[in-house]
Structures are given as structure tokens and as C-alpha cells.
Amino acid sequence: MKADIGLVGLAVMGENLVLNMESHGFTIAVYNRTVEKVDAFTSGRGAGKHIIGAHSPKELVAVLKKPRIVMIMVRAGSAVDDTIAQIAPLLEPGDIIVDGGNSNYQDTMRRLAELEGKGLLYVGTGVSGGEEGALNGPSLMPGGSEAAWPHIKPIFQAIAAKVDDGSPCCDWVGPGGAGHFVKMVHNGIEYGDMQLIAEVYHMMRDQLGMTPDEMADVFEAWNKGELDSYLVAITRDILRFKDEDGLPIVDKILDAAGQKGTGKWTGITALDFSVPVTLIVEAVFARCLSAMKDERVRAVKILGKPSGARFKGSRGAFIEDLGKALYAAKIISYAQGFMLLREAAAEYGWKLNYGSIALMWRGGCIIRSRFLGRIKEAFDAEPSLSNLVFAPFFAAQVLENESALRNVVGEAVASGIPVPALSSALEWFDGLRTERLPANLLQAQRDYFGAHTYERIDKPRGEFFHTNWTGHGGSTAASTYVV
């Protein structure tokens, strides 16, 4: 018996992907560095299935159909390089290595260049959906050597999540590190979505004094409308969940958030590309601030708490505004995320299909939502759409919900409830629609102290001027450069 694909790395994601592939009629050879795990798997969850246990990379490669496909599901970082170093020498030109871990897209670009230099094909694929998704249908975002796509497509599209019309949440993303880049932005957006929901929860809890069950009812109602999404659904379930003593478990969980780094990478990339992905960056920093628990406890002792004034108006109307604010901020967050994708595509010469990226995220993954169907429609209608908020549907939606967002942020600011993601959405939206920002003054300051020059509104773009502001500076301008 020959295997259709080999998989290295039998941790949670690897095991579940193998079982998913097997259930779709594929035969899989498996290998893991700690080989006991291979036997434990083939005699445990994998028993009686079309799964071949291999005790060395050589054994794994020997049982694969050609061209060989080896998918690596090990910890991101040096473990991927170690595994490639073991597998690649055993392969022939035209064989394919797929990295399905959470690799940094720049690592993927480096590995791709190295392996293509040896005649191998390399794919870096985003895999999202956690354990459940890996088993029953993940969102898959493959990119890299395009010649590999026809070979992996039947397997990938078979195991991927499907949307209502049966389309798989998996398509070819693009060359280079495009697959892992798209996965990185997905994770950044996930940080943003989670932070937005957390801020709305904070306001319901502290400004409206709602109980977890009352909040769960609101999230349940929201999940039937435009906010219908996996994260809103699990928030509803979390809020209803009771600890052994019958009290809501959410109230007992320490408010110090962890993170594994992909949100941070999105932020760093956004800064590198000069794209204002403000909401995701705020979401990352909000986790950092939450993690400083001791410092916050100390701060309250020294500085006191914000006023914490309760909301005095109509509760029902305010809850409605919270839902609208969440929706408007979410539109803005996705607009920012797609701006980053567009900039990366320009930078690296990737031709990204934004509608198909939205479809890949539509099911299977953590950010899956009805809303992504709308995004797909917007990009399908106008593939060259430069900004999501310019699409007629989203422009109308964001404007319709703008006053609710403004109202919610205003109330939060007045009572001292931190809403960095909601407010950054509003700031970005206001900034985007301000024709004349105060950057004329920044340019004057830069020219004053550093002779950095400026452009003038009464002259064509691209002509730079320097003023001798103090009378004793020289008339030599510094060379212009763009960061």
C-alpha cells in the first residue's frame, strides 16, 4: 500500500489532520520525532485506518506515491528547519514539502528559495480552526510553489471546511510566503475581533451592571443578525457556562491574557509596511496591558480607579448601540487587514484574490462569520476595490452605525472604561475622512529642526521646499526619504 501523502508531527493539529484526510479516502503515512507517538497513534486513534506508521523519515518517504507530498506539522521555528533538513535530502526534484505550522511568512520565503533551488516544490499553508477544525474541516490557505497546487488541491479541498453552497474554504493564495502571510493577517484580525467583543462585554458588565446570563442573551440575539460568527457564538456559551459551584465561570478567570505572537507579527508587519492597522495593534497592546496584572493592582492603589460612572440613559437603546458599534468597528478592522494584504501583494508582487481569501475565512476558522460572505461579495463585485469601506454595501453599513460607535466610545471615555479597539476604529475612520490633517504642521516642524523639506498645496506633488525658519540656518535641505 502506498500513501497519498506523508505527515510529520503528530501533535494535536497533525493527528487530527491525518484523521480528517483518512476519512476522505486518502492513505497517509505518519512520522514523529519521538517515534513512540507513531505507534501510540497507529494503535490508538488511527487503528484500523488507512494510516501507515513510519519510524524514520526514510521509511516515511519510501511509502509515498510520486510526486511525494510531505506535510510538516511541527512547532514553528527551528523545528521546521530541522524537519526539512531531514526530509529534503530524501526527496527528488518535483516532490513537495508543505509546512502547515504557524510559520512566519519570511521564514517561508527563505525556505521556499532554498528548496526551489534544489528542484523541490514548497508550500507554506495557513491552517486554522484549531483541533476541531483540523478534524472536521479547517480553513486552509496554501501559498508558495504554484506547480505543487494541482497535486495537493484534491486532498486540501476535500478536507477543508465547506460553506453552504459546498465551496471549500481553501484555494491557492499566491506565490512566496502568501499563504502564511494571509494566515498571519487572519490571526491579527482574530485578535481584533476578540478584543472588540471583550470591550463590549466590559461595558455591559461595568457600565450597565449586566449579569453573564443577561449578556449571553444579548450575544445570542446578535448571533442571529449581521454579527453571526463563531466568536460571538462561543462568547454566548462562555457567558452561560457555570463553574462547579453554579456561579458563572467567566467571573473567576484571571484577567491576564496570553499570546503566541501572530497578532504581534501582524502589527510589526503593518509598521514595516506603513499601513495603519491600528485596531489590531491596539488589541495586541491591550493583551500586554492586561498581562501586567500586578502593576495594575498597584496603580489602583496609587492612582485610584477611573470614575466608573454607570450609564443613566435607556439601557435597551444602549445595548443596541453596543451591537452597532461592534459591527462598525469590525468593518473597519477588516478594512485595515485587507489594506495590509494589498500592500504586501504590491511589495512582493503577489496577485491576491481578496474575494477568495474572504471565502477561505468564511468557514472552518476562528474568525468565520456571515460577515465574510459580504466581504467576498464586495470583492467579487469589484476585485480591484482599494478599501473595503469604499464598497457600496460597507460604506452604507459603516455610516449607518457610525453614530452608535461614536456614542459608545463617548460613554466609555466619560466613565473611564478602556476601549482601545473600539476607539481606534473610530479614530481611523475619522482620520481617513479628514481631507486636511494637521500633518502640515508636522512637516513644518520636521523642516524647522532637520531641514527635511515639505511639499506645498499650491505646487505639484513631488516638488520639495525648504524654509530658513530661524534666519541663521543654512539653505541646504536634507535629502528626502520616505520611511
Binding residues for substrate: 102, 128-130, 186-187, 191, 260, 287, 446, 452
List the catalytic residue out of 58, 92, 162, 183: 183
List the catalytic residue out of 36, 131, 153, 190: 190
Closest CA to 350 of 359, 340, 363, 358: 340
Please tell me whether residue 259 binds ligand ATR under the rule CB under 6 A: no
Upper half-sphere CA count for residue 157 (Cβ side, 13 Å): 12
Single-letter code of the amino acid located at 197: I
Q: Which stretch binds ligand ATR (CB under 6 A): 26-34, 217-225, 260-268, 339-347?
A: 26-34
> Closest approach of Cβ 440 to ligand ATR, in Å?
50
Grid coordinates standing for 183?
494566515
> Closest approach of Cβ 318 to ligand ATR, in Å?
41
Of 10, 88, 159, 173, the one binding ligand ATR (CB under 6 A) is: 10
Q: Which stretch binds ligand ATR (CB under 6 A): 32-40, 383-391, 399-407, 411-419?
A: 32-40
Known binding-site residues for NADP(+) equal 9-14, 32-34, 74-76, 102
Coil vs helix vs strand at 98: strand
DSSP for 2-45, please give it. -BSEEEE--SHHHHHHHHHHHHTT--EEEE-SSTHHHHHHHTTT
Of 2, 11, 211, 381, the one binding ligand ATR (CB under 6 A) is: 11
Grid coordinates standing for 319?
445595548
> Closest approach of Cβ 112 to ligand ATR, in Å?
20
> Closest approach of Cβ 9 to ligand ATR, in Å?
4
Please tell me whether residue 9 binds ligand ATR under the rule CB under 6 A: yes
Helix ranges, 207-277 (H): 212-222, 230-240, 262-272
- Where b means 16+ CB within 10 Å and e means fewer, 192-210 reads bbbbbbbbbbebbbbbbeb
Site string for ligand ATR, 46-75 (x = CB under 6 A): ----------------------------xx
Examine the residue annotation and report whether 190 is marked as an active-site residue of this protein.
Answer: yes
Compute CA distances 249 → 222, 432, 436, whole Å.
Answer: 22, 41, 49
Of 1, 34, 274, 475, the one binding ligand ATR (CB under 6 A) is: 34
Known binding-site residues equal 9-14, 32-34, 74-76, 102, 128-130, 186-187, 191, 260, 287, 446, 452
61 contact partners, CB below 8 Å, separation of at least 6 = 6, 68, 70, 87, 90, 91
Please tell me whether residue 37 binds ligand ATR under the rule CB under 6 A: yes
d(CA 294, CA 89): 51
Please tell me whether residue 85 binds ligand ATR under the rule CB under 6 A: no
Phi then psi dihedrals of residue 369, to 5 deg: -165, 160
> Using an 8 Å Cβ cutoff, are 122 and 140 in contact?
no
Please tell me whether residue 33 binds ligand ATR under the rule CB under 6 A: yes
Q: How many residues bind ligand ATR (CB under 6 A)?
A: 14
> Closest approach of Cβ 140 to ligand ATR, in Å?
17
> Closest approach of Cβ 131 to ligand ATR, in Å?
8
Other residues' Cβ atoms within 10 Å of the Cβ of residue 336: 29
Examine the residue annotation and report whether 153 is marked as an active-site residue of this protein.
Answer: no
Residues annotated catalytic, as ranges: 183, 190
Kindly list the residues in this chain that would bind ligand ATR in the complex (CB under 6 A): 9-13, 32-34, 37, 74-75, 79, 82-83
